Amino acid sequence: MGNPELPAYGAMKRAVNSLTESAAVTYGPEGIRVNAIAPSHTTTEMIRTWEENSPGLRERLTAHTPLGRAADPEEIAQAAAWLLSDRSSYVTGTILRVDGGART
């Protein structure tokens, strides 16, 4: 979703998606899988710092998240662990959304 406050951030996220897909096509024939994780807001030090400068940030982010909460960093790590495991051996070029249903 576009954000008038962070246009460069949005462009960078889309560039990572394109790079992931292109690298998967390039390196797939060599047996190399390339995937990315697209998390939504996660309880991190960055969010805590941002909240200090922008009161109400967490509530605004949560309002756009159907699951009604921020992710715990462990939840993002579990998604990464799955992508690194043999259980995802036929997954490549995927941007895995770990976002509680948010489309940010």
- What six digits make up the tokens of 66? 């159907």
Look at residue 87 and tell me whether its pLDDT is greater than 90: yes
pLDDT of res. 1: 64
Q: Phi and psi at residue 41, in whole multiples of 5°?
A: -70, 135
Do 42 and 73 contact (CB within 8 A), yes or no? yes
Look at residue 104 and tell me whether its pLDDT is greater than 70: no
* Per annotation, catalytic residue among 9, 19, 32, 101: 9
How far apart are alpha carbons 76 and 52 in whole angstroms? 23
Q: Phi and psi at residue 38, in whole multiples of 5°?
A: -115, 90
Amino acid, res. 61: L
Identify the CATH assignment for 7-98 out of 1.10.1740.10, 3.40.50.720, 3.90.440.10, 1.10.3720.10.
Answer: 3.40.50.720
Handedness of CA 16, 20, 26, 31 (dihedral sign): positive
Work out the pLDDT band at 54, boundaries 50, 70, 90.
Answer: confident
Give tens-digit pLDDT for 2-44. Answer: 777 778 988 998 999 999 999 999 999 999 999 999 998 899 9
90 catalytic? Reply is no
